[in-house]
Each structure stands twice: as structure tokens, then as C-alpha cells.
Amino acid sequence: MLVLRLLNVVAPAYFLCISLVTFVLQIFLFIPSMFRDPSTTPLFSPALLHGALFLFLSANALGNYVLVIQSSPEDLGKDLNLGKGGEVADWLDGSRSPGSALPSTHFCRLCARVTQRHDHHCFFTGNCIGSRNMRNFIMFCLYTSLACLDSLVAGMAYISATLSMSFVDPLAFLTLLPHSISQFFSGALLSSEMFVILMLYLWLGIGLACAGFCCHQMLLILRGQTRYQVRKGMVVRARPWRENLQEVFGKRWLLGLLIPVLNVESDYCRQKEK
């Protein structure tokens, strides 16, 4: 448990550090290098178009990241007076009283709260993912993946122009790292260039991981399931996939794709208000 609590603090700091490094490289290195091309007009230069795209992706990724933390799942244990600590877990598991377990709920020991439609605990946000912040979490994963892949393309263009190399051959990227390490220790490669090359592989890994996680999460949403329900082998009521999507993304789903907005309230909250 101590290791998990430490990871819950280190992972958000790691994400913010990577975001800051990516932003600095894009604004002060990649984009200025694109202005060196005199053949393009200032209005439609690749630097301005790429800069606008990167700022759009970064704003949506960081905006949804903040909303995931801000709209953290409500602690149902406070309203239901289930107790604290291990007592809450006993109530939710149904070991205290038959039939007393709440459906689609889970007690997270890291957050010390009862989450409605609990999916999983995200260490990079230091928060539980449930019905209230699921849409913002998916948008965060999507735009993080796109921002990393965008930075990967810009970094490859910068390395290609700086080192006068071509990435037409797919094997050129695979052999870039070992070849660059040998050049770095021989003194033929600068430290800044080596750092950019290392970031290329980091962006590739984060981008593919976020894209894969987002696709897997969307598949579960279409089925009306959560990761917690799949892990526990819980059977869910079959519903049309449109209703499952609307439950997570709401009716204003298009607005949530373009700008970071708060998620719709959960069914539990709406029923409680009534």
C-alpha cells in the first residue's frame, strides 16, 4: 500500500514534467526551426499551422486532465453512512448484510471513497475514474495520444533537418537510437540532439499506450461495462450501444470533442436530486 501511495504522488508529477518538456521543445525548438523555410508564405507557413494544432491538442489534453481531477467521483459512503475504512469495503462486498452491497460501486483504499460505477484508479491523475469523470478521462487519453504523436512527427522533422537524414525507410527510425548512442559517446552528437532522440521514443510509447487504452475503454463503454466489472466477472444488463454512449458522453458529445467541458452528472446524482 505504501508503494501505491508513493506511485499516486510520483505519477502525476511525472506527467506534468513530460508535458512541460514537450511544450518547451515544441515552442522553443521545433516550431522556430520551421520558420527557416523562406519558400512558404507567413499566413500558411507550416510553423503557424503546426503551432496552432499543437496548442489545440495541448489545451484539450491539459483541460480534460484538470477536469478529471476537479470532477472526482462523489463519495457515496458519506451520504449512506456506511462507515469508514475496512467497514465500507465489508458493506460493499455484502459481507455485513446480505443484499446490502451497492451495485456498480467500489471502495478505493487509495482515495478512501465509495465511487459510483467505479472503473479504475488512475495514478497519473491521482484520482478514481467513475461515472462523473469518465468522458473527461477518455478525452484526456485521446488528446494526450494525439499531442504525443504530433510531437513525434515534429521531432522527426527536426532531427531529419539537423542531422541530414531521411526517415523514408522504416528501419531508419528503429536503428536511430543505437546509432545515436554510439555517435553521442564518440562526441559526434550534441547533448540536445540526443535528448530529442530519446524524447521521440518516449512520445511514441506514450502515444501508442494512450491510444490503445482509449480504444479499450471505448469498447467497454459500448458494452456498458467498466474495468472493475470485467475484473470481478460481474454481469451487466444488456442495453443498446447508443444508450451506453449517451450515458458517458451525454447529448452534447460534439462539444466535448472540441473543448474541455464538465461531464454530465451520473444517474445516481440525478436520482438523489429528485
The residues carrying an active-site annotation are 122
Q: Judge whether 175 and 181 are in contact, CB under 8 Å.
A: no
Closest CA to 116 of 105, 108, 124: 105
Q: Backbone phi, then psi, for 162, in 5-degree steps?
A: -75, -45
Would you say 146 and 260 are in contact if contact means Cβ atoms under 8 Å apart? no
Residues with Cβ < 8 Å from 63, sequence gap 6 or more? 259, 260
Q: How far apart are CA 272 and CA 75, in angstroms?
A: 13
Residue 67 Ramachandran class (φ > 0 left, ψ -120 to 50 alpha, else beta) = alpha
- For residue 85, with 0-12 CB atoms within 10 Å meaning exposed, 13-18 middle and 19 or more buried, which class applies? exposed
H or E element at residue 24 = helix 2-25
Of 112, 90, 86, which Cα lies nearest the Cα of 101? 90
What angle, 0 to 180 degrees and rounded to 10, lies between the N-to-C axes of helices 241-249 and 191-223? 130
Helix (H, G, I), strand (E, B) or coil at 273: helix
Q: CA-CA distance, 271 to 265, in Å (whole number)?
A: 10
Q: Are 210 and 169 in contact (CB under 8 A)?
A: no
Cell of 21: 518538456
